[in-house]
Chains A and B, each alone.
Chain A
């Protein structure tokens, strides 16, 4: 790919016209400034990428300490099973999220049916439910002594679960569907955005040429949305790999569980780091293969003239079928667990009242998530923008590097962060003591900085990836025009890219925020003394089996996550913002 910057800056620009006074012009000086500015962005991006890959380096150091006989044991026992199970789980969740996410996104953009406007945003709601909560909720709802099976027994005339009961939900199938029904919004969001902002012209052209709406989906809509589907599925799969809670409830043995076993039960952290790094390599390879497969495709259209697809009115019966289909993931992924949580939380409230700490926890949760989101978005912006203006191997590598934290399990990332930050903390403390005779204590671990850092490492992939996808929809001709008219790189960023990618940036910010609220393992390990968030409170109760105590905290997490989720849907449907 050649870019405007690298080609135009080799020599003096031939364009030398004064447009009107006060405006910067494309003089040789400006061109050199542009080059410098491009370098600055690349340098900043490199710094950001370095910052978030340090914990992974920490893990590499840990892994190099070595672990004797680990791999021989793994290969001869659990690894074949764990690998097969991991692959089945990933394929299963991948298929469920891709199918649910793409069909629902197409339905609400291409067709007009009753309830469409509500579904448009309501389909995002399952995003507010963490995987560990959905697993627990369904385990209870579908348990032989739960309400569903009770009703079935009553209808069939059985008295005791010993006479009749449904197959246990603790299974691979159960896990695939439960994860699929809360993770499909990761596909729905980018795919719907793609349908909304991009395909309008092409789809209308196809329609003019006499292609049916269904055929348009297969021949135009879906191929065009492929990068969005790919990004969405990749995010959903990384969330799946990260999950330990749901897998623990449902008895699914994945590679991630093996990492924990090696570390906790066998006290072999180097060994655990080795498995984690191996897993990371697999993920990076998978993402690489997908990118390689569509290396020759370009997706940018003319952002100025692109307009959304006009939804087609459908007959009443067909409309009702659509409505029912659209409601299914919503009911299973959000309404049912939400009703369950509300009932449980209410029961708990009547039984034990409200914990006085709940306000502190709310403040901690929101402050940590907000600060982490701001930092994550800024870094993501730098990295994605550097890739835009200095395309090539270097910036692409930076983009990949910055996404690594998302693929590694949360606790493993936390350990990496611990190695880096605690080391730095000790160094600062010792230096201050040597030079000034005062102890600084632990600056990073003692404040919330370590948690914020870990969250940034974990979720930079969402921010950098989302913003990059948004920027990729802006045609390069606009950059060229802006630079030809004398805007600097930063000016082009402020006046062209930022306004045109506002949608993508806000969407990324909201996703990161929701993820920060739901995040558990890194927050649990790295937070300072006396600080609890909703997630750590919930875990503190769940860990000793008092799930009922956790119901209120679980409901609070879902409630905090709903607002950004609803905002997210509004961001997506604001077509003018995207062009």
Chain B
């Protein structure tokens, strides 16, 4: 190819991407590990009511590294994450800043946000039990997963997945590492198949006769049952019922999705406004209705599908403590060969 052609294609490529630094005032930039389809309804509603343009880029692994590497030149205003651990990681890496807002602190219960205002939980979900519909089972404890009577009947995604390490970390918070290791080895013994795939596979595999019970997130049931996942998933979810499991001496394990304001946010004021919008009645309703999550704001209504699981009793161990046990949980997963 001729040099001129190369130059032309490079210029074309560059011109396609609007440089964020040229952005006008009423704009905010969001780095998110929350999937685009889940935040799109919130952003659309926000832009419609305020006129503020919201630029997003969705990433999975490495968001914290990217913001840290970009340093003071980073265009990021808001960092959205889907796991309490990730939010804590961000603040520990020093890429967030403290925000003082009476709107945020009055809307979000203290245990679902950082004490210094470095991150805020915006919605939460429960790690629940999917069980075959005709199974004679009305209540369940996480401890039961290791009960030999479930041998060859349990489905779960990879033990190293953050959804599971958070649950195992909660177990450590309750019982300590030694008992957790024994429990994990017991659960491993009970697995019907490799610990792999996603949460919805639990429902699919229960329909497929591979297993009887499994652990998965609450909101997937809403997505499948509402028909938003298509006809086939509606069939999968017909095969299961949902039980809110608890720890014997506690409640159901939950995890949050949330956001932080980036340390070098070029549009801090706008960013805080956006966060405040996310805890408004309108946004909290979207979280509940479009994403089937539990809203953080007291009094906000829950989607009927999710409400049908029964009263959620959130486990009392503080998020900050659970987050501290993640590394150990991950090491135990390796130790018992959970994913082998």
Contact = CB atoms under 8 A, between A and B. Distances in A.
Our verdict on whether A and B bind, yes or no, reads: yes
Interface of A: 73-74, 76-78, 81, 85, 139, 143-145, 160-163, 165, 168, 170-171, 248-251, 253, 257, 260-261, 263-269, 347-348, 351, 363-364, 367-368, 370-371, 374-375, 378, 411, 414-415, 418-419, 422-423, 425-426, 429-430, 439-442, 445-449, 452, 521, 524-532, 536-537, 539-541, 543-546, 548-549
Interface in B8-35: 9-10, 12-14, 16-22, 29, 35
Q: Which 10 A-B pairs have CB atoms at the shortest separation, nearest pair first?
A: A441-B21, A251-B196, A251-B194, A144-B208, A422-B69, A161-B209, A162-B209, A77-B334, A529-B55, A78-B334
Interface string B204-242: 110111100000000010010000011111011000000
B171 to A, nearest CB: 15
Contacts of B207: 145, 161
Interface string B49-86: 00000011111111001100111111100000000000
A257 B334 CA distance: 12
A418 B69 contact: yes
B265 to A, nearest CB: 14
A265 B160 contact: yes
A531 B59 CA distance: 11
Interface of B: 1, 6, 9-10, 12-14, 16-22, 29, 35-38, 55-62, 65-66, 69-75, 89, 158, 160, 162, 165, 193-200, 204-205, 207-210, 220, 223, 229-233, 235-236, 326-327, 330-331, 334-335, 337, 339-340
B225 to A, nearest CB: 14
B20 A248 contact: no
A446 B61 contact: no
Nearest to B199: A545
Contact of B37 (A251, A426, A540): A540
Contact of B13 (A251, A419, A452): A452
A265 B75 contact: no
A445 B70 contact: yes
A78 B336 CA distance: 9
Contact of B73 (A260, A425, A447): A425
A350 to B, nearest CB: 10
B158 A251 contact: yes
Contacts of B197: 139, 170, 248-249, 251
Given A423-B69, A448-B17, A541 B35 contact: yes
B17 A549 contact: no
A419 B56 contact: no
A74 B36 CA distance: 35
Nearest to B14: A447
B194 A170 contact: yes
A446 B76 CA distance: 11
B35 A442 contact: no
Name which of A85, A363, A371, A527 has the most chain B CB atoms within 10 A of its CB. A371
A401 B226 CA distance: 53
B193 to A, nearest CB: 5
A379 to B, nearest CB: 12
18 contacts: A76-B335, A81-B340, A144-B209, A163-B209, A165-B209, A265-B330, A267-B89, A267-B327, A367-B9, A430-B72, A439-B73, A442-B73, A446-B19, A521-B61, A524-B58, A529-B20, A530-B56, A548-B233
